[in-house]
Amino acid sequence: MGIVRAVIVAAILVFSTCRASAQDAMTQDDFVNAMGLSKYKAISFRDVEGKVVSFDQFRSLVKGGLSFSTIKNPEKSEAIVQIEKAREATKIQLSDEPKFAIAQGHAVPAIGNVDLDGQSVVYSEKPTLVSFFFTECVPCIKEIPKINGLAEGNPDVQFVSVTFDEASLVKDFVLKYDLKTKVVADEQSFIDALGVKTYPLYALISKDGRLLGTQSGVVLQLPKGEVLFEHWIKSKTGG
């Protein structure tokens, strides 16, 4: 296998680790595990010029609002995590779709668990927009009002929020932040099947269970981002 490069949304490091308390800063081990890098023997962190920096220095740069990319070399068991040059939010394109483990047009596995109301999630009734989140994800929390608005304004699309967090924790989260979509907890197997590594992230699925497209949460951070996001949904579903 060759070198694999992936650009990641910077906000992933602005909050504490998904299983830790809000007071605990994400450690290097937390980060490595969250990004799926634990199998690599050599991991280095670099600034925008490519200079090797400590994890603490890297984390400070990300907290300052910069994004980073991950370059993986499985053959040498090496990974480089490097700060990206700043770019204007308005230049982020809807075509910048993140890569999933499943290619567009291919079948998506079923969501195995029922939602918090005890109902199964099926794809056959209408297109489904799956939002991947976890309860300590600050960008995920900030996007809830926009996701709620999109769900209300698009009744012909099924909105489902999926997380690896346990149900008891998620129920408190839903009440606290008034998340109005269907919510499925304890769904690590579905997350792994799609190869989700960053949050928030979105997958649009057709009525016959095929992947129509994927989108980063960066879009909803743009001014009028929900308008762009809705346009993207309609362009994929023919609405």
- pLDDT tens-place string over residues 26-39: 788 877 876 778 88
- pLDDT higher than threshold 70 for residue 25: no
Q: What does the DSSP assignment read for 126-150? A: S-EEEEE--TT-HHHHHTHHHHHHH
Residue ranges per structural domain of the chain: 4-83, 90-237
pLDDT for res 9: 46
pLDDT computed for residue 107 by the predictor: 96
Question: 77-86, 141-150, 169-178: which has the minimum mean pLDDT?
Answer: 77-86
Q: Which CATH architecture has domain 90-237?
A: 3-Layer(aba) Sandwich (3.40)
How many Cα neighbours within 13 Å face the side chain of 174? 20
Return the pLDDT at 97: 67
Mean pLDDT of 184-205: 91
pLDDT greater than 70 at residue 213: yes
Mean of all residue pLDDT scores within the chain: 82
User: 122: which DSSP letter?
Assistant: -
SS3 11: helix
Q: Are 199 and 137 in contact (CB under 8 A)?
A: yes
Residue 1's pLDDT is what? Answer: 45
Q: What phi, psi does 93 have (nearest 5°)?
A: -100, 150
In the predicted model, is pLDDT for residue 95 greater than 50?
yes
**Spatial distance between the Cα atoms of 82 and 45, rounded to a whole number of angstroms:** 6
